[in-house]
Chains A and B, each alone.
Chain A
Amino acid sequence: MQGKLIEYIIELRQSANSWERTDINGDENTSLSARFLKKSIFCIIAVVFIYKLNDGFPHFFVDFSSKTLAIIVGLFMTAIIFSFNKFYEPISKEKKDKADATEKLNDTRDFNYAKQFAYITSYNVVLCLFVLAALSLNTLFEDKMNANLHHYDFNLKNIDRHSTWLFLKLSFITLQRFFVLYWMLRILFSTLFSVSSMVKFMTTKLNRHND
């Protein structure tokens, strides 16, 4: 199961990343900007915030974020389950033989959107769970996780077991803060995308039936 779990999560991550760059016509934007621009901006923002956060995440931030993310997980899990069979209904072979270009195009777009929504939203839920797991460390080891990184500096002359252990601990704390911030930015982005694209998709589908 563990092996499969890692495989599923890796596949989900790859597909979600790919679908973020793919439109509903199935065209993937493989340009460097499409691949790295958003991630680079989020990285820069996350690094700036780490620098500004002297004593780590404030207690109320952990509290507020955990509640918000828990709500997002609940909402999106429901949305993923309900979107199954709602966003895409395959046309029968008989209908397909008579379908015109618009019907075929709509079928392709519905199919692609259903997959895009499922992958991006599911990965969003996974990221929420990762952030919740990372933030739980702040509640478990509040003092250690709130270490002020500005109070430490590198001294390459006196490297011993204690300093190495301290370096590893502080690196872990830095990475924890980085990923919490970076993933939260991604969650914000994906949530905005999921909600706005879902509304657009629904209104387009309603208008289609109204034509």
Chain B
Amino acid sequence: MASNPKLEFYKFELNSTTNGKKKTFRDFAIEELKADKTASNDEAFKLCFAHFIKTIESKHAKSDKKKKTITIIANAKTNPYLSSKPAPNIKKHTISGVINGGPYDKDAIVSDIADKENNSILGRNKSILLPYFVFVYLPSDYHQGFFAIHSNSAAESVTAIFRSYISNLFSGKNYNKAIPEAFCPQSFQDEFRKGATIKNLTFSTTIIDNSHSTDPIQSLLQEYSIKIEATPKGKGRAISINKGQKVIDFFEQKIFKAKNDKELPLNKFTKKSLVAENDVTKKTKVFEWDKKDDDFVPTVLLTGRIKIKDGIPDFEELKKLCTNVFEDEILKELRPDLNARKVN
């Protein structure tokens, strides 16, 4: 699969088992990491960072289901990105750096390209590791954290295992697993929306026919799903995604006749989805119109944003990009409390 590095964003909330006030990462450090009750926010963050790095620094964090591992190889001879390993920013409560990750349990062969005969079996207990950049925010004074992770393609990705790693990391005696939720900063959404056109629209629902019939086919189809797809046809008929609601409104007035006496307008269909395509990047995205409303998660490709060499992004530039996006945008979206300021 062609390498086309992208960046994905997730936010997650600490999932305390006790009701009431939402628990912050400082609370987590006190309750689960045995921090002193008088610990400051910065001290609590240091403990959270140690908790984050401990497993991947000492061994492989693996997923038997996904057959992938993440770790940090502490050998500078084999890991050229060791100097960029995850490091904390104590004041900002962020962690950023490069981890290693990849698949294991494969029948992989290691072969010399110049000398085909020089080959050996990798072994199922060995992992093929690639560098992946992560940016994590663990605010001691807040209940919601955030992480961004880069991936090269659908196959060359450790996003799923990193998600479950974070999810497990912030669980414990008093905390259920945190559930990371994908999101996309508004500027990237706007950027996608700018060149995005509607590719097609789908309305789907399940119809239950309660009438008795002697017709053998009708008796077999007492319950069925129906899907209606509308696709704009012809060149120059591209409709901007900004007009999505108007297009939905137009089609919602159309009527599907399930039976002679029963009319079902499309606005009564349970699911409405819209496929949009960005004409510039040629990337498509499906939106659940009901659920996502005006908020959606387009893919953020790194091509054109930072230098990419041999399919591997320049991690220094990626760090700068993540830091800028985080400080200028994500923090404002994630922490509405920080928008309040004392007026002098």
Contacts and interface: CB of A to CB of B under 8 A. Distances in A.
Interface of A: 19, 22, 24-28, 97-105, 108-109, 111-112, 115, 211
20 contacts: A19-B343, A26-B341, A26-B343, A97-B42, A98-B38, A98-B40, A98-B41, A100-B24, A100-B27, A101-B335, A101-B337, A101-B338, A102-B337, A104-B141, A108-B340, A108-B341, A109-B340, A111-B342, A112-B343, A211-B21
Interface in B302-344: 335, 337-343
Contacts of A25: 339-341
**A interface, over-half SS:** helix
A97 B340 contact: no
Given A97-B42, A98-B39, A112-B342, 15 more contacts: A24-B340, A26-B343, A27-B339, A98-B26, A98-B38, A98-B40, A100-B27, A101-B24, A101-B143, A101-B337, A104-B337, A105-B337, A105-B340, A108-B341, A211-B21
Nearest to A98: B40
A107 B19 CA distance: 24
Nearest to A107: B342
A211 B26 CA distance: 20
Contacts of A211: 21
Interface string B18-41: 000100101100000000001111
Interface in B221-242: none
Nearest to B42: A97
B141 A99 contact: yes
Interface of B is mostly: loop
A105 B340 CA distance: 7
Given A97-B41, A97-B42, A211-B21, A26 B141 contact: no
Interface residues of B, number: 22
B141 A100 contact: yes
A97 B141 CA distance: 9
Contacts of B139: 101
B142 interface: yes
B144 to A, nearest CB: 9
A93 B169 CA distance: 31
Contact of B340 (A26, A103, A115): A26
A109 B337 CA distance: 10
A24 B343 CA distance: 9
Nearest to A211: B21
Nearest to A116: B343
B39 A100 contact: no
Contact of A101 (B39, B142, B342): B142
Q: Among A22, A28, A101, A104, find the residue whose CB has the most chain B CB atoms closer than 10 A.
A: A101
B141 A108 contact: no
Given A99-B141, A101-B142, A101-B337, A22 B343 contact: yes
A108 to B, nearest CB: 5
Nearest to A115: B343
A203 B142 CA distance: 25
Contacts of B343: 19, 22, 26, 28, 112, 115
A179 to B, nearest CB: 29
Nearest to B21: A211
Interface centre among A22, A28, A108, A211 (most CB of B within 10 A): A108
Given A26-B340, A26-B342, A211-B21, A100 B42 contact: no
B40 A97 contact: yes
Interface centre among A24, A100, A115 (most CB of B within 10 A): A100
Contacts of B341: 25-26, 108
A22 B339 CA distance: 14
4 A-B pairs with least C-beta separation: A25-B340, A97-B40, A26-B341, A105-B337
Contacts of A99: 41, 141
Nearest to A102: B337
A26 B337 CA distance: 11
Nearest to A103: B141
Contacts of A103: 141
Nearest to B344: A115
A93 to B, nearest CB: 10
Contacts of A97: 40-42
A111 B40 CA distance: 23
Nearest to A109: B340
Contacts of A104: 141, 337
